[in-house]
Structure 1
Amino acid sequence: MLENMSDKYTITKYLNGQFQNVEDVIVNEFPLTIFVNDVEFATMVCTPTHFEEMVVGFLASEGVIRFYSDIHSMNIDESRGYAYVMLKAETTTNQQYYSKRFIGSCCGKSRQFYFHNDSRTAKTSTAKTTITASKAIALMNEMQNNSQVFQETGGVHNAALCNSEEVIVSRTDIGRHNALDKLFGYSILNRVPVRDKIIVFSGRISSEVLLKAAKIGVGIVLSKSAPTDLAIKLAKDLNITAVGFIRGNSFNVYSCPERIVE
């Protein structure tokens, strides 16, 4: 599958005062347009792997489906870049509905801005899972070190679904949201319980990423990068432990620190 994720190009490199022609590995970028019940729903620019997982995870995160059984049929035409999904029941696929902002109360603690579908699908975590500090660092290192396409290109995000001891599955994509959708789709297709699981993530924890984690249903998000202030507020509201800047032997815990133990 790695051959679908990158290609080799001859480039001009400047080094130590000289230009030279060298071979470089460049990550692939691929547009996939999703049709739901014959209506164009979204175009995702992605790394061309694990299409079925990504489409299922994306539709679940958008509230279009809850279970894989909600889908009557799915046909992915990779040559044309189309995914055709027919649902067993009628659903609202109006783009305005899915992009409309909704102001609502989250757990009664504060008022945050959501997309309308976010207010319906983001879950407040009830996870009792804990993880040791050393294992949090180890899982981040394992995910990054095992991503060959990241090692070769530096142009992708990595995300992994883990338990408190090991990586269960990892996915890679040029889009950080896509990588999470692939994990979500994997858990749906393989009926993996997620409430007690952990997401390890290479990218920034934005509010959108935090909401993706809430929709998946995990209680802990471990990131190599920084959070935003809205992501921290949402993490506190949704009872999710957000950990950032996992680098070397240190990290920062921004919310619900009781899940990180010595």
Structure 2
Amino acid sequence: MARPPFIKSLRLIDFRSYAKLDVLFDGRPVVLYGKNGAGKTNLLEAISLLSPGRGMRRAKLIDLSRKITQPNDPTSPLKHWGITARLGTDNLEDDDIKLSTGQSPEAPTRRKLRIDGTPANSRDMAELLTINWLSPAQDKLFTGPASDRRKFLDRLCLAHFADHGRISLAYERARMERGRLLNDGPQDRVWYEALEKDLANHGAHIARARVNTVNALEHELADSLSPAFPTSSLTL
């Protein structure tokens, strides 16, 4: 079985508290430690932005930029931030992939993505690297509303189905459009039936991806059972 890609190097430019940071990795587990405010969470947030979405903090793009002077000074000018990672599966550099994201002076309100220097989209990014996280801010994941758990499961689905994010967005767009038609009165029956068909097709794909992901997790749990720990079971 081929080894999954891992981040071999990471560079941050004007991101949060970092003016510039270069880090090397070798594929082994990493533990970050340091005093409060040292930048540990900022580094993890930067890595989370190498996946589709708004990252683990869901921050606005402007909030990710490093201020030139004091962070509490609202008049301080902002830098345009950038994140670059080199992905690979071994020590050879021939097959490494360069993944980058960040702001640009031309469009500071939009996040730009590039793969090996070529403009890319979120789907391209999801096919290269899947990133999941469970942070203290998610402590209420299993006691809060079911929608939070569905969002978390959908992110896990991206590890197995690169199209899951695109299909989920298409489902939400069709659902909102159907709601608008119902409020206004479904005068265009053909359009209404087309939306119903899209909802059924997208919904079936989403349900199948969720079931398959939960089954895969259940199999992993079964294969790693230890008499020292209680058994667990996942259902959907």
* Alignment TM class, shorter chain as reference: under 0.3
Tell me the TM-score normalised to structure 1 length. 0.20
Higher strand share: 1
Q: TM-score, normalising length from structure 2?
A: 0.22
- Whose relative contact order is higher, 1 or 2, with alpha carbons under 8 Å and at least 6 apart? 1
| Larger CA Rg, structure 1 vs 2 | 2
